[in-house]
Amino acid sequence: MSVPNTSATPSSVAVPGATRRRLPVEANILLILIGIALVFELLGWIFIGQSFLANPQRLTIMILQVSVIGIISVGVTQVIITGGIDLSSGSVVGLTAMIAASFAQSSTWTKALYPALTDLPVIVPVVIGLGIGLLAGTINGSLIAYTRIPPFIATLGMMVSARGVSKWYTKGQPVSGLTDSFNMIGSGIWPVVIFLTVAAIFHIALRYTRYGKFTYAIGANVQAARVSGIDVERHLIKVYAIAGLLAGLAGVVTAARAQTAQAGMGVMYELDAIAAAVIGGTSLTGGVGRITGTVIGTIILGTMTSGFTFLRVDAFYQEIIKGLIIIAAVVADVYRQKGRKK
């Protein structure tokens, strides 16, 4: 009878699948993006005899269109990592767009909302817009941190209130006649530059700073984070305040791009931002997510919208397909979380 060799160390024992290295989540999402683009390219040649990818103008417009959603999604991603949710982003975009635009009107516009506040330096409406967003986010974070009401309810209340204030502020009338210096913020590739700059800043913040470590710790296990000495309430206020600040920035960019502001701006933006984060690998259960994945998720949403428009798919079909993709992304996240626990 042969005696088993017990001298082998654990590291020398062959374990099935031990040498396999999983691709980063971002790499998988990038492959999905490439696959979606190739599908639209193939369908374009089959159904309308045109190339989807060989049109630089279409691709540029696509990136410009998703830049505002991308700015919002960077803030929403951080909120979701903590285990929360922010449903108020779209309404905050509409509110900040209206208020910032009212301080960016030119005196040459005869219908100026407040004539005494025309021709102000561009920094004034920008700072006011950012301040309104920061205030809204701080209120969200304070309600969640100190009253312990669910983030869904707190931000739902802000969503309704902010939309109401934006309509009350100008009695439902649009704000037009904005200064050229303000409109420059939304011209050319500036929205894309702003989006990528914001994404880079918070990618670094989440990955290499104490702010990021605290954010992930709270999302992974809030009680363990509290025991380890993290001031959970204070940090949650920071995270929601940043999300509000970025929604305010998105509102400023939106008004500058449109060169006008209306109370209905930003409708459904919060859902697109959440979708971009989830598609990008951010877990709705908290503790998992990266800004790089969110950026790719945002581009995936833009690619789908541009591709459906390119194929002349009706808008209501686009919404149905987008909803199914969001559900699929959440289901994939559930299975991914089960895989981690095994």
DSSP string, 195-258: HHHHHHHHHHHHHHSHHHHHHHHHHH-HHHHHHTT--HHHHHHHHHHHHHHHHHHHHHHHHHHH
For residue range 179-235, list pLDDT tens digits in order.
999 999 999 999 999 999 999 999 999 999 999 999 999 999 999 999 999 999 999
Q: What percent of the chain has pLDDT over 70?
A: 90
pLDDT class of 129 with cuts at 50, 70, 90? very high
Name the residue among 108, 337, 47, 56 with its Cα closest to residue 219. Answer: 337
In a domain, 238, yes or no: yes
Instruction: Check residue 18 and give its pLDDT.
Output: 43
Is the pLDDT reported for residue 5 higher than 70?
A: no
Which spans in the chain are helix H?
A: 25-47, 56-81, 89-102, 123-147, 151-169, 180-183, 190-208, 210-220, 222-227, 232-258, 269-279, 291-310, 315-341
Tell me if 112 sits within 8 A of 118, measured CB to CB: yes
Q: What integer pLDDT is reported at residue 108 of this predicted model?
A: 74
Q: Is position 339 within any domain?
A: no
Least confident span in 111-115, 117-121, 172-176, 274-278 = 111-115
Residue 88, pLDDT above cutoff 50: yes
pLDDT at 247 over 70: yes
- Which pLDDT score, from 0 to 100, does residue 324 have? 87
pLDDT at 123 over 80: yes
Whether residue 59 is predicted with pLDDT greater than 70 in this model: the reply is: yes
Q: How far is CA 186 from CA 56, 136, 212, in A?
A: 20, 23, 30
81 lies in a domain?
A: yes
| pLDDT at residue 10 is higher than 50 | no
What pLDDT is attached to residue 58?
84
pLDDT value of residue 113? 65
Residue that is written with structure tokens 């980063």 in the block? 24
pLDDT at 132: 98
pLDDT for 3 beyond 70 = no
Most confident of 5-14, 162-171, 323-332: 162-171
Per-residue pLDDT, 8: 41
Domain membership of residue 124 as a residue range: 67-267
Phi, psi of 208 (to 5 degrees): -125, 0
The first and second tokens of residue 170, run together, are 């100008």
Total count of domains within the chain:
1
Tens of pLDDT, residue by residue over 262-287, are 989 999 999 999 999 999 999 999 99
Please list, in sequence order, all residues whose beta carbon lies within 8 angstroms of the beta carbon of residue 205, skipping any fewer than 6 positions away.
211, 212
Residue 156 lies in a domain: yes
Residue 27 in domain = no
Confidence bin at 112 (pLDDT 50/70/90) = low
Whether 290 maps to a domain, the answer reads no
> Is residue 125 domain-resident?
yes
pLDDT given at position 166? 94
pLDDT tens-digit readout, 295-331: 999 999 999 999 999 999 988 888 888 788 878 877 8
335 domain residue, yes or no: no
Average pLDDT score, the chain: 89
Query: Is 50 exceeded by the pLDDT of residue 4?
Result: no
Confidence at residue 16, expressed as pLDDT on a 0 to 100 scale: 45
